[in-house]
Homo-oligomer: A and B are copies of this chain.
Amino acid sequence: MDDLDRRILSVLQENNRLSFAELAELVGSSAASCMRRVNKLRSDKVIIADISLVDPKALGKSLTVVVTVELERERLDLVDEFKRAMRATKEVTQCYMVTGDADFVLHVVVEDVEAFDVFVKTKLYTNPNVRKFRSMIALDRVKFEPRVNV
């Protein structure tokens, strides 16, 4: 993982549909080198996935809710159990374990408020590990540019 890898990742996090020749031009290298590096970054799971980002506004029915969760956390294995449950729940598109006012922050993406109500009732109220949660309904996705600093 050197500076060239980092420049490659920086570009691919904005656009992964460039040809290796175009990528090489942008990062100041050769197409062959870029291909080798990108393939390695993919097989090493530094690049987790290659996806299209879809505009929810273009589709109508899609509700995002940011949920903060506090756990009953005397037992560490309950934290792991909660993580597993979140990974297995399709409505949860993002989940972070955090410090501060909450233990976890979830992004829940559902069709509408009824679907969110079902989610809350089946995944949070019925979970004895969950002491408390707060829901913040997204009115506007002002910005969405997932990336990490490289």
Contact = CB atoms under 8 A, between A and B. Distances in A.
A146 B144 contact: yes
Interface of A: 1, 9, 12-17, 44-56, 58-59, 61-62, 64, 66, 68, 83, 86-87, 92-102, 104-105, 109-111, 134-150
Given A44-B58, A148-B109, A139 B97 contact: yes
A148 B96 contact: no
A96 to B, nearest CB: 4
A136 B99 contact: yes
B9 A54 contact: yes
B46 A55 contact: yes
Contact of A149 (B17, B53, B61): B61
Contact of A54 (B111, B145, B148): B148
Nearest to A79: B140
Given A9-B59, A86-B143, 9 more contacts: A47-B55, A54-B147, A62-B149, A83-B142, A93-B145, A94-B143, A94-B145, A100-B134, A110-B149
